[in-house]
Structure 1
Amino acid sequence: MLLLGIAIAGLVFGLFSLLLIVMFKKRYASELGAQLQQFKDSSEQINILRSEVSELRTGLLSIGKRVLEVEQQNQELIQQQAAQKYDDPDAKIYSRAVKMVELGADLDEVIRECELPRAEAELLFSLHKQKGA
């Protein structure tokens, strides 16, 4: 009888332990499934972010190339403008006339030396007076 009682107690203890093991296994499986789903979601998000970063990098490289092209065009235009400034004979005449006005030459001297019409020479003198004021 004592042996039967011990056997029944052992059986109850074994069943109880088995029940606990099954419950923990289900909880663990459930948590594991949730973590696995979270991992999959995170992995998808990482792939999306990698794709976006790649697109941004490509866009930035394109913008960088365009900026370099625009800077190069700007430098070429500056050089062309500087070359035209020195190639234009009228610009030389006006530059000389302005220099003469700044150095204190009178109206008739500027007209004679630079071969400017009187109206243009008077305009240079009036502009120079406005700058000085």
Structure 2
Amino acid sequence: MLIGWLFALSLLVAWLLWRSLQHSSELLARSDQRLLQQDSTDDNQQELRLLRAELAELRSGVIGVGQRVLELESQLQSQQQLLTEQAEQLQAVQLIEPESKIYSRAMKMVQLGADLEEIMRECELPRAEAELLFNLHQQKS
């Protein structure tokens, strides 16, 4: 969830930088047109240099944000793969666990002194399995 928000935030920042870059490019183009139409003065040349420097800075910012978005996408894919693997492991454990709980419960009942019929009834075990557990764990007690 957090990675999704980070990804969305990165995209928003990249979009804002792109819009700012686009706006600066438009200003630079207008400024170039004005300079061509007017006499070149030191102020206009200085403004043009500042706008070009700002444009270069914005371009490098957009590139940096783009690289960060790619990194976040890679991290997101890794996290999704890890989540998928963990879900598969959890499903495997859940498939194994119910059976082991029944036998653990039956062993506990034998240790507490339950009789064979009660173990069969409570744990829903066939007579042969219940007798085996009963005989094995009764000898240990």
The superposition leaves residues 41-78 of structure 1 with CA deviations (integer Å, 9 ceiling, x where unpaired) of 11101110110111111111111111211111111121
- Match among 89, 106, 112 for residue 98 of structure 1: 112
Structure number, greater radius of gyration: 1
Mapping for residues 107-122 of structure 1, pairs under 5 Å: 120=140
Task: Give the superposition deviation at 1:28.
Answer: 0.8
User: Is 1:51 aligned to 2:65, yes or no?
Assistant: no
**Bigger relative CO (Cα 8 Å, ≥ 6 apart):** 2
Mapping for residues 12-27 of structure 1, pairs under 5 Å: 22-27=41-46
Under a length normalisation based on structure 1, what TM-score does the superposition of the two structures give?
A: 0.50
**Cα distance in structure 2, aligned partners of 1:63 and 1:97:** 41
Count matched residues.
83
Aligned residue number for residue 60 of structure 1: 79
Under a length normalisation based on structure 2, what TM-score does the superposition of the two structures give?
A: 0.48
Aligned residue number for residue 10 of structure 2: none
User: Is 1:29 aligned to 2:48, yes or no?
Assistant: yes
Identity %: 9
In the alignment, residue 95 of structure 1 is paired with which amino acid?
M
In the alignment, residue 98 of structure 1 is paired with which amino acid?
L
- Give the 3 Å change call, closer, same or farther, for CA 50–76 of structure 1 in structure 2: same
Give unmatched runs, 5+ long, in structure 1. Answer: 1-17, 101-113, 125-133
In the alignment, residue 99 of structure 1 is paired with which amino acid?
G
Q: CA RMSD in A?
A: 2.9
- Give the 3 Å change call, closer, same or farther, for CA 23–78 of structure 1 in structure 2: same
Give unmatched runs, 5+ long, in structure 2. Answer: 1-38, 115-133
- Give the 3 Å change call, closer, same or farther, for CA 37–97 of structure 1 in structure 2: closer
- Give the 3 Å change call, closer, same or farther, for CA 97–56 of structure 1 in structure 2: closer
